[in-house]
Structure 1
Amino acid sequence: MKNYKKIGVVILAAGSSSRLGYPKQLVEFKGKPMLQHIIDVADSFEFETKVLLVGANSEEIKSTIEPKNFEILFNKNWQEGMASSIRAGLERSLEKEKDLEYLLILLSDQPFLSRERIEALIKEQLATNSEATFSEYDGEVGVPAIFSSSVFPYLKELKGDHGAKKLVYDKKIQFRTVKFEKGNFDVDTKEDVELLKKLEKE
């Protein structure tokens, strides 16, 4: 997919993985850390800006992954929660490209993210010109998601551990959805890691 629109991408990887006890960003899936998989998929696109947010365990993460064309940004407020990383990522993206038209937000622990899933989100967003396009899994909407610049002011207002889907309920923004099978699978516990290892062999 050619970069004929100004799209920025932000990967959120600043969390502490407190329930797991070690950085879930570095849990291996199919021979590489999950975060590396997300970087590799996203870097295959010619996005206008590419920003990776780190926070907890930042040195270990930086020494393990290959950022490729991503700028690594340390979120000093990572303990506030996901909203602080979204705000920091958006702010840095706009510093790099003030005329950014869209922002794609990805998480570091969705091992089944693929290039096809991202392409589907972008195509839906550009075709419908809605305020946002979210992934849909198990009847829920969430990230990966892409937001138009009209929503940027709302993203800047997010607080605490609320992700971008909070806008759906608070701001009643107009959005579309794209199905993402296994999109609800993330890694928070040791049981999740064990299940991931089993799924890896399927």
Structure 2
Amino acid sequence: MRNPYIIGVFLAAGKSKRMGQNKLALPLKGGTIGSLSLQTALLSHLDHVLIIERTEHASLEWMGAPYHSPPFRERWSLHVCQEAEKGQGHSVSSGVRKAESMGADGVVILLADQPRLSVDHLNALVAMAPVSFAVSSSLGALTPPIYFSSACFPYVKELKGDEGARSLLKSGQLGTGAVLEAKTSAELKDIDTPEEYDIVRRLVI
């Protein structure tokens, strides 16, 4: 019996409105917010990573040179969501449609602004396949990364607007899944504002 083929859907199509500039390119711990988040995905047991962007000519300067070269370059590909401007739900559903076309047995929805996410946590989430879904949790709050099996794809593909994957969990449509508690609450926190960035920068340098 073969192992399930699991693709990461790495959401990098946001506008960083609350930050006032491209937050993925902001420096952090020898890299950038985006590159540290991507590094975790590429070093994990995910079989491939789809980077979801708004345009084919999206600037991936935040990524850093190492990830444009072997062996990392073979681990990811760029997927353009034409409707990303309409909200995160469109990026999620577009990414899942692409992953499905690539033969994915499951996907993990990842945020590009979670630079403190650990490889161990992501691998533990991947290892939960083939449950229907598995969601990360911190102090009772459900948050990405989230694993969805192919059985959930019909529902995830219907997301639109600002609906995130968490809305499906609240709806009860997906049945019973698993919850993976993070070892520390800090690793699941995303970075949206200058204040949050300043706090993280002081902690990780």
TM-score normalised by length of structure 2? 0.86
Give, in whole Å, the separation in 1 of the partners of 2:19 and 2:155. 31
Give, in whole Å, the separation in 2 of the partners of 1:47 and 1:184. 18
Partner of 1:50: 49
Q: Equivalences for 1:156-175 in 2 at 5 Å?
A: 156-173=157-174, 174-175=176-177
Q: Equivalences for 1:1-202 in 2 at 5 Å?
A: 4-45=3-44, 47-55=46-54, 59-60=58-59, 62-65=60-63, 66-67=67-68, 68=73, 69-97=75-103, 100-123=104-127, 125-126=128-129, 129-173=130-174, 174-180=176-182, 181=184, 182-201=186-205
Q: After superposing the two structures, state which structure 1 stretch, 177-186 or 4-13, moved more.
A: 177-186
Give, in whole Å, the separation in 1 of the partners of 2:77 and 2:36. 16
C-alpha root-mean-square deviation of aligned residues, in Å?
2.0
Q: Alpha-carbon deviation of 1:195?
A: 0.4
Give, in whole Å, the separation in 1 of the partners of 2:200 and 2:37. 16
Q: Alpha-carbon deviation of 1:92?
A: 1.2
CA contact (8 A) 1:49 1:96 kept: no
State the identity %. 26
SS at match of 1:86: helix
Structure 1 residue runs without a partner (length 5+): none
CA contact (8 A) 2:13 2:84 kept: yes
Q: After superposing the two structures, state which structure 1 stretch, 47-56 or 153-162, moved more.
A: 47-56
Deviations 1:123-178 (A, max 9, x none): 2x23xx43110000131112001111110001011121111111112234211111
SS at match of 2:148: strand
Give, in whole Å, the separation in 2 of the partners of 1:119 and 1:48. 11
CA contact (8 A) 2:6 2:126 kept: no
Give, in whole Å, the separation in 1 of the partners of 2:19 and 2:169. 29
User: What amino acid maps onto 1:159 in structure 2?
Assistant: K
Give, in whole Å, the separation in 1 of the partners of 2:27 and 2:189. 15
CA contact (8 A) 1:136 1:179 kept: yes
Give, in whole Å, the separation in 2 of the partners of 1:110 and 1:159. 22
Residue-pair matches, total: 193
TM-score normalised by length of structure 1? 0.87
Q: Alpha-carbon deviation of 1:184?
A: 4.3
The 4+ residue runs of structure 1 with deviation greater than 6 A are none
Structure 2 residue runs without a partner (length 5+): none
